[in-house]
Structure 1
Amino acid sequence: MRSILNGALRQVIAETAQAEGWASLEDKALAWARKSPSSPVAQLFVANVLLDHGYAVRGTEYASEVPADRMAQFRRYVQASREQLEKTKSVASIDPSWYEAMLSIAQYQRWSQHQHEALFAEAIKKEPEFLQTYFVASGWYSPKWGGSRNALNDFIVKSVSRFAQSEADAMYTRIHWWVSELGYFDRFEDAPVDCARMMRGAKVVAQAFPDQWNINNFALFAVRCYDKASFIHFAALIRSQPMLEVWEDRAYFDNAVSWSRH
């Protein structure tokens, strides 16, 4: 099952908050929820507006760098979002993004490992193929949120073990891509990643979804894994020009090509 909240409605939150302000957006979300008490989307929309508002107040700094008043506001919004999710669970948890939001709250409120694992287990039992569940759950283990490198790596390995081998490799790649984007290991090169498995999974994903965004990113990961053969494989699939949104600098790609030939 795919989330019915992700995508368009999340874009609505960002755009409406920017255009009209958070107070107006919250009023509209609450009005919609009151008019549509049996709608999972309406109830989840309220929870996500509150959560996103809290994060907008908090900012992206490390917790130690956030002023106390902003952190207190952030915690209030997170708690309000949690209360909305809990009271509407019977209606809203038909959508797997209910668990996505609650797993974010578990991270922000620093639930115990037992509580977090129980929530994650419930989420994947209900919808085992919803990728965001795995992505968001990984945050609890991040060194940046009180976890550790080994704990995060152990979570990734354990969480993908329920899949058949090729899909497990693909999930391993997807989750490591996610945590790399968020800087959970600081630098990918310093992460305890199994690069051979990362590249096997990348090839599985690229075969199923051969768009240029994936291919360029997997070529970049091949460079970061010091895997010349995999770089050559993915570079050959890049059409016309490398995507600068991925490489940032054409010289980086050109240097990688030169490196792969020696």
Structure 2
Amino acid sequence: MTPLGRRVRSACLSMLGWAMLATGAVAPAWGAPDEPPQTTRAAEDLWTGDFAALDSRNAALRESGAMTAEGRPELMMFRNGIRNVIGHQAKPREPYIRELEELTLQWTRQYPQSALAHILHARVLVEHGWSYRGGSFASKVSPQQMVQFERYLRQALEYLKMHGEVALTDSYAHLTLLEIGRALGFQRKHMESIVQDGLKRNPRDMELYFEVGTSLLPKWGGDAQALDKYIRQVATQTRSQYGAGMYGWMYSSAALGQYQHGLFKDTLAEWPLIQQGYEDILERYPDAVGRRNRYAYFACMAQDKATLQEQLAKIGTGLKISEWGDNGERSLEGCQRLANEI
């Protein structure tokens, strides 16, 4: 382990009191049974302070554009691992985040020409802000907490502007800017300009589209009409890359982000287009068990019993409860009852 890695490990020991970490026997839960390897590995590398490994893998995944068997970018899975560590709910929270701030700032000094080093520091600042904001509605957050929330987000924004010559060579910086913009209420045109600039750096970075879609959810000040218009725009723009799949992907993200079981009631989503999208995805990625579960769930929401029955038969024992919406176990039960109705 590098000296920097030992420092991180020592800091985590002192902050969190996980004595067994000293023996290497226990670590935070990086690597759930169904977690992609890229997610687990990124989390472990960040946790142990192996920046060289993170930087190398980030560059390789950006270059390759590799996809998982589920049809998800491996780069996105890598970023999820980073997100897991930065967003780790350590108790107490403040010392953990401050240590991450110091660590990532040190990396920016050691590797000043690394876009990832600067991006990670900005993302830790964003997370510091969210530690004050929490996940509640804004009306339930105290004015003092909101001040701190905005302070750290603006600090992250200024940091990326200051180091933009390096940081903005990687579309991960643009994703971070979009997340900041969603929270600070950037105008739609500003958000779309960030996306287009990011796509110049990495035309395959589909997370940029999803983040703008999230910003158009009602809970972030958007509405069903604006969301639908954007999803149709992206689906057309990306057809040569992803076929018909992006329409279904983005509405799946919208369901996860807010609408849940009310997707077809509360949005302008069209089931035939979503169905076409999932058929296209599964033709490209026939082993995507999670996607097939999601397709069956959408068929259930659309009351398309024939498609639901067909997909459940193909899924067999490969049920993925996490793909069946909020309270997935009960949701699946209801869908199975629908499929079995005479």
What TM-score comes out, normalization by structure 1 length? Answer: 0.89
Is the CA contact 2:243–2:280 (under 8 Å) kept in the aligned structure 1?
Answer: no
Alignment of 1:109-124 (within 5 A): 109-124=184-199
Q: Percent same amino acid among aligned pairs?
A: 23
How far 1:229 sits from its partner (Å)? 2.8
- Going from structure 1 to structure 2, the CA distance change for 1:57 and 1:215 (only over 3 Å counts) comes to same
Separation in structure 1 between the aligned mates of residue 259 and residue 321 of structure 2, nearest angstrom: 23
Counterparts of 2:259 and 2:127, CA distance in 1: 20
Partner of 2:221: 146
The answer on 1:248 being equivalent to 2:322 is no
Contact 1:26 1:46 in 2 (8 A): yes
Moved more, 204-213 or 187-196: 204-213
Cα offset, 1:212, TM superposition? 2.0
1:195 corresponding residue in structure 2: 271
8 Å CA contact 2:174, 2:208 repeated in 1: yes
* Match of residue 105 from structure 1: 180
Task: Find the aligned partners of 2:167 and 2:228 in 1 and give their Cα distance.
Answer: 31
Q: Which amino acid aligns with 1:224?
A: M
* Partner deviation per Cα, 1:27-58 (whole Å, 9 max, x = no partner): 11111111111111111110111112212221
Q: Give the Å deviation of 1:223.
A: 0.5
Deviation at 1:240, TM superposition (A): 1.6
State the shift of 1:112 in Å.
1.9
2-structure distance, mates of 1:70, 1:137 = 25
CA distance in 1, matches of 2:261, 2:310: 27
Measured after TM superposition, the shift of residue 185 of structure 1 is: 7.7
Q: Which residue of 1 aligns with 2:81?
A: 8
Bigger drift between 204-213 and 183-192 goes to: 183-192
Deviation string, structure 1 residues 158-214 (Cα, Å, up to 9, x no partner): 122113379352011111111110105882132210110101111222233333221
2:257 aligned with 1:257, yes or no? no
C-alpha separation in 2, matches of 1:217 and 1:184? 15
User: CA offsets, 1:142-166, max 9 Å, x none?
Assistant: 2111122101111111122113379
The CA RMSD over aligned residues, in Å, is 2.4
Match of 1:207 among 283, 308, 320: 283
Q: Which runs of 4+ in 1 moved over 4 A?
A: 2-5, 16-20
CA contact (8 A) 1:149 1:192 kept: yes
When residues 178 and 81 of structure 1 are mapped into structure 2, their CA distance, relative to the original with a 3 A threshold, is same
Tell me, in whole angstroms, the C-alpha distance in 2 between the residues paired with 1:58 and 1:231. 40
The question of whether the paired residues in 1 share the 8 Å contact of 2:170 and 2:201 is answered with: no
Establish whether residue 37 from structure 1 lines up as the match of residue 134 from structure 2.
no
Hey, what's the Cα distance between the residues in 2 that align with 1:230 and 1:18? 46
Aligned equivalent of 1:62: 137
AA at the equivalent of 1:9 = I
Please report how far the alpha carbon of residue 70 of structure 1 lies from its aligned counterpart in structure 2 after TM superposition.
1.2
Separation in 2, partners of 1:75, 1:184: 27
Moved more, 58-67 or 225-234: 225-234
Asked whether the 8 Å contact 1:170–1:205 carries over to 2, the reply is: yes
Aligned counterpart for 1:177 among listed residues 249, 252, 265: 252
Answer yes or no: is the 8 Å Cα contact 2:132–2:145 preserved in 1: yes
Equivalent-residue separation in structure 2 for 1:186 and 1:125 (angstroms): 36
Q: Any stretches of 5+ residues in structure 2 without a counterpart? A: 1-61, 66-74
Give yes or no for the alignment of 1:217 onto 2:299: no
CA contact (8 A) 1:149 1:185 kept: no
The residue type paired with residue 229 of structure 2 is D
CA, structure 1 residues 185+128, in 2 after alignment: closer, same or farther (shift >3 Å)? farther
- 1:26 equivalent in alignment to 2:101: yes
Could you say if the C-alpha distance between residues 39 and 17 of structure 1 is closer, same or farther in structure 2, counting changes exceeding 3 Å?
Answer: farther
Hey, what's the Cα distance between the residues in 2 that align with 1:152 and 1:143? 9
Equivalent-residue separation in structure 2 for 1:232 and 1:165 (angstroms): 31
* Aligned residue in 1 for 2:56: none
TM superposition shift of 1:232: 2.5
Q: Output the CA distance in 2 between the equivalents of 1:45 and 1:16.
A: 17
* 1:131 alignment partner in structure 2: 206
User: 1:167 and 2:242 equivalent?
Assistant: yes
**TM-score normalised by L of structure 2:** 0.70
